Amino acid sequence: MKYSDGNPDALKKKFWLALDDSPFLFLELDGQSDTSVPMTAQLDKDANSSIWFFTHKHSAFAKLGKVKASFAGKDHDMFARFDGTLAVETSKERFDQFWNNFVEAWYDGGKDDPDILFLRMDLGDAEIWSGDLGLLNTAKMALGMNVHDEAEERHVESVDI
């Protein structure tokens, strides 16, 4: 485990802020790369060990179980790969909390569409990289200089998110 200031929790916090800012990731069933699709993560600031998703009952994710996710921050300043387990979320309050016009656009029947599958991803381990190398390292890259060691210092190999 590496991180330049010796504090992987700071990188973890940066990850959650980046995911909140751009909640799009690739999700796939574990070991089934052909199921990898972009999904919108539904986040709750008080529940930092789960992510929720709306999908359709006929999607591959209806199989539930182990999944992997890949994330790139919108400014390419944060990258993560993490795993977890999908389960059906039965909380009506949680469903209503995350329902909005952007979700509704995917379902002809609105909230009552019989094809809606509301899932919770309970999170496991993550590998997180900070893509923010700073002005000096960006200049080094432009000059073809090696920045490998500096990039490695902004990396956490395994952390619970």
Output the pLDDT for position 140.
36
Beta bridge partners of 155: 129
Q: What is the mean pLDDT of the chain?
A: 81
- Torsion sign (Cα): 127, 158, 68, 91: negative
Question: Alpha-carbon distance 106 to 126, whole Å?
Answer: 29
Beta bridge partners of 118: 54
Q: pTM above 0.85?
A: no
Query: How many Cα atoms within 13 Å fall on the side-chain side of residue 81?
Result: 7
Output the pLDDT for position 143.
43
> Helix, strand or coil for residue 102?
helix
Output the pLDDT for position 159.
52
| Pick from 122, 126, 121, 123: nearest CA to 11 | 126
Pairing of strands 50-56, 65-72: unpaired
Output the pLDDT for position 10.
75
Output the pLDDT for position 45.
77
Low-confidence ranges of the chain (pLDDT < 50): 1-4, 133-143, 145-148, 154-158
CB contact at 8 A, 99 and 40 = no
Burial class (CB in 10 A: 0-12, 13-18, 19+), 15: buried
